[in-house]
Amino acid sequence: MDGRARPHRLTRLFTAAALVAAGLGLVAPPAQAQPGAKITVMTRNLYLGGDLTPSMTAPNLPAFLAANAALLGHVDLVDFPARAKLVAAEIREHKPDVVGLQEVALWRTGPLGDPAPATTVRYDYLALLMAELAVAGHRYDVAVVQDEADLEAPAGAPHLVDARLTMRDVILVRHGGRVKVTGTSSGNFVTNMVTPLPATGDSVTSTRGWTAVDVVHGRRAFRVVNTHLEAFHPGVRVRQAEELLAGPLDVPGRVVLVGDLNTGPELPEPVNRLAYFTLVAGGMVDTWPILHPGDPGYTAGLGDDLTEPADDVEHRIDMVLVRGTVVPVASEVFGVERRTPDGRWASDHLGHVAVLALP
C-alpha cells in the first residue's frame, strides 16, 4: 500500500465530539448515558515476529529450510519477552475493561524431521504478557482463546529444528473490574486462504477466526467480538466479514467489534476496502471518524524489524466498530511512546483504545 503518513496525532475527544456525531445521526447522544455507564475497549496486534512470505514462496527445499531458519532467527531478534513489557505498560496506562489481542503467537520447536508435533515452548506470547501484567499488579483474566493457523516446518542451519507456530486470538477482561463476563464463544472461519507451497508440493491453510465475550456492566449487557481478518486475499476477507455478520455479530442489543481487520475505507487498492464496507452495510459503525474527522488514524505498519520511524504508519486497519445503543466517547491510537532497550516498538501495529458509553 502506498503513501507516507503525516505525523500521527494522539487525541482524546470526549462528550462534545460524540454530541456532534449524534447531531449527524450517526449515534445516540451521550447525554442518555447514566453516570459510570462507560466501558473501555482495546485492540492490540502483538506481531508474530516475522514475515511468513519467504517460506511460503520458497521455490525448493534448500530455500525453504533457509527461509524457515531466517524466520525463527528473526523471531528471536525482535524479542517478544522485551516487547511484552511494553504491551503490559500500555494496558496498565489505559486500563481497558476488555482487550482484544491478535497474533498471540505460540512458538514451539522439536527434533528436526520428527513427524510428531513440536512441543518445546520457545515463546508463549500469552504467558509472557500475562506474567508482565501480574508483576505490575494489574491483573487481567484470560476470558477466551481461539487457536488459528497451526503451522510446522523444518528450519535449517543454525537452528536445525522443526519450528511450529500456532496463531491465537485472545480476549482479556480486567480482573475484579466493572465488567462481568456472562459467557464466551469462539470459532474459526469456514472460508480461509489456502496457499500452495512450491518447495514441498503441499499447501497450507491460513486458518483465522474470532473470539467473543458476553458481558454486563451493571444492568447493561453487551457483546465484544475480537477478530483478525485475512491479510492477503480480499475475497476471502469479505467472506470472513460476512461470516462475522451472520455469526457472532448477529445478536440483539449492543455489539462491539475490535480487531486487526486488514481492511479500511481509504486503503489505496479499492478491493481492500470491500470487507470494511461489508461490515458497515451490515450495520456496524466505525467509531474513529466520528471522534476524529479528518484524522486518518493510521495504525500500521512499523516494519518487520520494528525500527521504522514512528510516523511511518500509513493505513488504518485496527478498529473499534459498534452497533446498537453504544456511543463512542473518546478514542486514541497509541504505541510509539516507548521502545525496548534495543530500540524496537512493541509491535508492527499501533494499538487502538476507545471509551464507549452504554445508554
pLDDT tens, 256-306? 999 999 999 999 999 999 999 999 999 999 999 999 999 999 999 999 999
CATH topology of domain 15-357: Deoxyribonuclease I; Chain A (3.60.10)
pLDDT tens-digit profile of 107-122? 999 999 999 999 999 9
pTM, rounded to two decimals? 0.90
Neighbours of 59 (CB within 10 A): 9
Average confidence (pLDDT) over 15-21: 33
- Quote the pLDDT of residue 196: 96
The amino acid at residue 112 is L
Q: How many Cβ atoms from other residues are within 10 Å of residue 309's Cβ?
A: 12
Residue 203 pLDDT: 95
d(CA 63, CA 16): 57
Please, are residues 151 and 172 in contact by the beta-carbon 8 Å criterion? no
Domain boundaries, the chain: 15-357
Q: How far apart are CA 277 and CA 283, in angstroms?
A: 10
User: Percentage of residues in the chain with pLDDT exceeding 90?
Assistant: 88
Q: How far is CA 245 from CA 74, 210, 242, 280, in A?
A: 36, 12, 5, 10
- Cβ–Cβ under 8 Å, residues 329 and 355: yes
